[in-house]
Structure 1
Amino acid sequence: MPHLHIEYTDNLTGLNERELMRELNAVVCAHPTVTDEADVKSRIARLTSFYIGSSPENRGFVHVQLQLMSGRSEQAKKEMSDGLAAVLRRLVPQPGDMLVQLSVDVADMDKATYFKGRL
């Protein structure tokens, strides 16, 4: 933990996955409530099958979900959410003929049931 899940529609050509993950990770790693940068685990999924609203042509999205161990303040979660959103606004391509939706969700993981081990 934290876990960073990124999904985006494959019609967003030109999205640099590696750069996006690096910049999103940097936001989370830099937050004072994250004590070990090696705990931040990210993955990205390019969605080839998606449908947006009732008229999906020329629409796309990027969604980021950050899962954090429960116990962080709303302020800390808001700071991370705002930082992640700023990265999306800066790095997601903006095709002129397309509506692109950006979203960030910060979710708590339950301490009682979460397992983490290292080998």
Structure 2
Amino acid sequence: MPQITVDYSGPLADGFDRPAFARDLHTAVVDIAAAKPPACKTRFRPVEDVVVGSDTDVHALVHVHIALLAGRSDETKARLTEAVLELLRQYVKPAGGLVLHASAEVRDLDPSYRKFEGE
């Protein structure tokens, strides 16, 4: 916990500083949602096909999904979502006239969530 997934349009790859984004995102999750730094895990998934409206060539998407153990207030989740959007403004620089659509969601992990660490 937290489990963070970032889906992004493939054409953004060169203009998205993913390591710096993840580093600062983890700091925000620790500061805002009281997560432990070693527990922050982010995976990035490039998305090949994106369609917004009827224009397929001018739009790019980034969606950040953060799943936390239950117990955070709606206010805390909203603050974290706003912090994510601000970080996306900093670290995603679309090239070639792409219009960026950025979004974020923070939700509770299902009570069935379990994990282990080890070899």
Per the normalisation by structure 2, the TM-score is 0.87
Q: Secondary structure at the match of 1:26?
A: helix
1:54 equivalent in alignment to 2:54: yes
- Is 1:39 equivalent to 2:42 in the alignment? no
The answer to whether the 8 Å contact 1:6/1:43 transfers is: yes
Match of 1:75 in 2: 75
Q: What is the root-mean-square deviation in Å for CA atoms of aligned residues? A: 1.6
In the other structure, the counterpart of 1:84 is 84
| 1:75-106 alpha-carbon deviations (Å, 9 max, x no partner) | 11111111111101111104362211010011
Residue 29 (structure 1) aligns with: 30
Percent sequence identity is 26
- The answer on whether the counterparts of 1:88 and 1:102 sit within 8 Å (CA) in structure 2 is yes
Q: Mind listing any 5+ residue stretches in structure 2 that lack a counterpart?
A: none
Listed as ranges, the gaps of 5+ residues in structure 1 are none
In the alignment, what sits opposite 2:2? 2
Aligned residues: 117
